């Protein structure tokens, strides 16, 4: 129990870092005057770091470094870099600092998973609860920004009396335009602070020594793609990661647009609704896996993306519905991505566990996000005119891709029997 609480706090801080800066960066970069190509170069720091991490960082962590010490060093240096981004507005310094942060941060995602799996007795049942800490971290870091993106001179001019009136006045006077974009720099300050805190906390985590693995664990991990069920899941992960990243590329600006009309100080809280729902889905992930099995649990997760983008594309004028449908984000993450990580831990060789996790991070955090970040700014410009953005056509692209990925998963994903979650109540392994 003592270890589980430490692992839970580790996940809180790990994902608070990412959750602080990711939702608003897609609107912040254009406000700094960066071109679509420059935006793509900065945004691709994260997926490129995932690709680099597959070949170097995870291999290094597997063989040469206690995982908790790797975590401390990475978050110490990476935290200083993301903190500095709050005070940088020129392209080249911004680009360099983002790459420093991402190259050190991204490998820690799989490292925190490896630490958790190493110290949980029943990963299939316990990992969902521990990983729920990451969801809480993402939520906790989002909501205070409702009081950061506030036009404080306007609040003072309203002369509120008492705390309740003051709070109401603050929430009723959000920043707009350039002022809201400028306030976004605080997201990097918060991310840096959380990263430095985790660097210190990592030293209190249970010791996770380096594993005795073969010299090229990543090469052995790639050979796993010779198994058809691994290859199918890997390719579906690429498509679903692209769809997932499209959500972050466009949703912040969509919510704040005239089509929906969410005030700037409520954009991050609204986008965090999915993480609130994720708490519930992560909590029930174990029983759902036991009931539905690997394949159908993941199909439901992918279909969640399709349903959300369908609503975005066809009902932007219904603000309440647009806000409410964000709950599907929790299903999308828990039932697909978290399930993939648990599946890898259950089915793939233990001696290359970090590299096997990295193999899927190569698609989940690397390939899919790389494609989305490369073409996302260009697609946004292509469907935008001075009169506004054609949200219908923009969001239908990821909707159809999600439907295709879910179909492929349902028809082609056939893992071997003998381990993992049962298929349905009858107990046949999916």
| Residue 30, C-beta contacts closer than 8 angstroms, at least 6 positions apart | 39
The tokens for 300 are 């439901």
pLDDT band with cut points at 50, 70 and 90 for residue 428: very low
Are 76 and 106 contacting, i.e. CB atoms less than 8 angstroms apart?
Answer: no
Per-residue pLDDT reduced to its tens digit, 141-183? 988 887 788 888 888 888 888 887 888 888 888 887 778 888 8
The tokens for 117 are 């799996």
Q: How far is C-alpha 38 from the chain's CA centre? A: 22
**CA–CA separation, 168 and 170 (whole Å):** 5
**CA–CA separation, 309 and 322 (whole Å):** 10
pLDDT band with cut points at 50, 70 and 90 for residue 424: very low
Beta bridge partners of 13: none
Token look-up 């040469």 returns 64
User: How far apart, in Å, are the Cα atoms of 37 and each of 30, 43, 64, 102, 407?
Assistant: 11, 10, 37, 19, 33
Which pLDDT score is estimated for 275?
Answer: 81
Which pLDDT score is estimated for 100?
Answer: 96
Per-residue pLDDT reduced to its tens digit, 296-340? 999 999 999 999 999 999 999 999 999 999 999 888 988 999 899
**CA–CA separation, 14 and 150 (whole Å):** 27
Which pLDDT score is estimated for 123?
Answer: 67
**CA–CA separation, 133 and 130 (whole Å):** 6
Which pLDDT score is estimated for 286?
Answer: 83
Are 285 and 128 contacting, i.e. CB atoms less than 8 angstroms apart?
Answer: yes
Per-residue pLDDT reduced to its tens digit, 185-225? 999 999 999 999 999 999 998 887 776 655 566 677 788 88
- In three-state secondary structure terms, 258 is coil
**CA–CA separation, 61 and 218 (whole Å):** 12
Which pLDDT score is estimated for 60?
Answer: 65
Q: Where are the alpha helices (DSSP H) in 227-336?
A: 228-256, 267-271, 273-283, 285-314, 319-324, 328-332
| Residue 55, C-beta contacts closer than 8 angstroms, at least 6 positions apart | 218
Q: For the chain, what is the mean pLDDT?
A: 86
| Residue 36, C-beta contacts closer than 8 angstroms, at least 6 positions apart | 377, 378, 381
pLDDT band with cut points at 50, 70 and 90 for residue 353: low
End-to-end, the C-alpha distance of the chain in Å comes to 31
Candidates 248, 329, 240; CA nearest to 43 is 248
- b/e for 353-375, b at 16 or more Cβ within 10 A? bbbbbbbbbbbbbbbbbbbbbbb
Q: Return the DSSP state at 216.
A: T
Which pLDDT score is estimated for 423?
Answer: 40
Percent of the chain with pLDDT over 90: 47
Which pLDDT score is estimated for 427?
Answer: 33
Looking at per-residue pLDDT, the higher value among 21 and 277 belongs to 21
The tokens for 130 are 């521990």
Are 364 and 338 contacting, i.e. CB atoms less than 8 angstroms apart?
Answer: no
Q: How far is C-alpha 211 from the chain's CA centre? A: 27
**CA–CA separation, 266 and 275 (whole Å):** 15
Please, what is the angle between helix 57-64 and helix 45-55, to 10°?
Answer: 40
Which pLDDT score is estimated for 421?
Answer: 43
Which pLDDT score is estimated for 429?
Answer: 32
**CA–CA separation, 259 and 265 (whole Å):** 17
| Residue 180, C-beta contacts closer than 8 angstroms, at least 6 positions apart | 149, 174, 264, 265
Which pLDDT score is estimated for 215?
Answer: 59
pLDDT band with cut points at 50, 70 and 90 for residue 426: very low
Candidates 387, 391, 422, 154; CA nearest to 263 is 154
Per-residue pLDDT reduced to its tens digit, 354-402? 677 778 888 888 899 999 999 999 999 999 988 889 999 999 999 999 9
Are 76 and 64 contacting, i.e. CB atoms less than 8 angstroms apart?
Answer: no
**CA–CA separation, 349 and 11 (whole Å):** 24
User: How far apart, in Å, are the Cα atoms of 4 and each of 26, 115, 120, 128, 345?
Assistant: 35, 11, 8, 11, 18
Q: Return the DSSP state at 174.
A: B
Which pLDDT score is estimated for 351?
Answer: 63
Per-residue pLDDT reduced to its tens digit, 232-241? 999 999 999 9
- In three-state secondary structure terms, 422 is strand
Per-residue pLDDT reduced to its tens digit, 252-307? 999 989 899 998 888 888 988 888 887 888 778 889 988 999 999 999 999 999 99
pLDDT band with cut points at 50, 70 and 90 for residue 352: low
- In three-state secondary structure terms, 426 is coil
Q: What structural domains does the chain harbor?
A: 2-425 (1.20.1250.20)
Which pLDDT score is estimated for 175?
Answer: 82
Per-residue pLDDT reduced to its tens digit, 60-83? 665 677 888 989 999 999 999 999
The tokens for 311 are 């609503």
């Amino acid at each position: 129990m003592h270890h589980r609480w430490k692992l839970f706090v580790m996940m809180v801080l790990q994902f608070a870092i990412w959750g602080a800066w990711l939702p608003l960066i897609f609107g912040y970069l254009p406000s700094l005057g960066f071109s679509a190509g420059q935006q793509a170069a900065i945004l691709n720091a994260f997926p490129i770091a995932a690709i680099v991490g597959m070949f170097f960082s995870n291999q290094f962590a597997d063989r040469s470094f206690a995982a908790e010490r790797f975590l401390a060093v990475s978050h110490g240096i990476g935290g200083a870099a993301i903190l500095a981004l709050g005070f940088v507005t020129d392209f080249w310094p911004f680009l360099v600092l983002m790459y420093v942060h991402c190259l050190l941060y991204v490998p820690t995602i799989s490292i925190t998973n490896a630490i958790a799996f190493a110290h949980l007795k029943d990963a299939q049942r316990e990992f969902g609860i521990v990983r729920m800490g990451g969801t809480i971290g993402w939520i906790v870091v989002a909501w205070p920004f409702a009081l950061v993106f506030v036009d404080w001179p306007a609040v003072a001019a309203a002369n509120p009396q008492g705390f309740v009136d003051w709070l109401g006045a603050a929430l009723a006077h959000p920043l707009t335009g350039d002022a809201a974009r400028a306030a976004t720099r605080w997201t990097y300050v918060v991310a840096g602070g959380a990263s430095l805190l985790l660097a210190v906390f990592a030293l209190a985590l249970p010791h996770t020594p380096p594993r005795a693995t073969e010299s090229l664990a990543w090469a052995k991990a790639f050979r796993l793609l010779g198994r058809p069920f691994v290859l199918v899941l890997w390719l579906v992960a690429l498509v679903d990661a692209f769809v997932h990243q499209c959500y972050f590329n466009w949703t912040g600006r969509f919510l704040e647009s005239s089509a929906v009309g969410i005030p700037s100080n409520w954009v991050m809280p609204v986008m965090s609704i999915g993480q609130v729902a994720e708490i519930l889905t992560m909590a029930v992930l174990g029983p759902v896996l036991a009931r539905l099995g690997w394949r159908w649990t993941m199909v439901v997760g992918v279909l969640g993306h399709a349903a959300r983008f369908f609503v975005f594309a066809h009902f932007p004028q219904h603000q309440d519905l647009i806000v409410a449908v964000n709950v599907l984000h929790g299903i999308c993450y828990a039932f697909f991505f978290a399930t993939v990580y648990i599946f890898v831990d259950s089915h793939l060789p233990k001696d290359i566990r970090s590299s096997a996790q990295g193999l899927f991070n190569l698609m989940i955090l690397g390939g899919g996000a790389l494609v989305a970040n490369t073409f996302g700014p260009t697609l946004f410009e292509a469907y935008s005119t001075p009169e506004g953005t054609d949200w219908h056509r923009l969001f239908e692209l990821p909707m159809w891709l999600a439907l295709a990925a879910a179909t492929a998963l349902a028809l082609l994903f056939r893992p071997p029997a003998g381990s993992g979650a049962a298929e349905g109540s009858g107990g046949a392994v999916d």
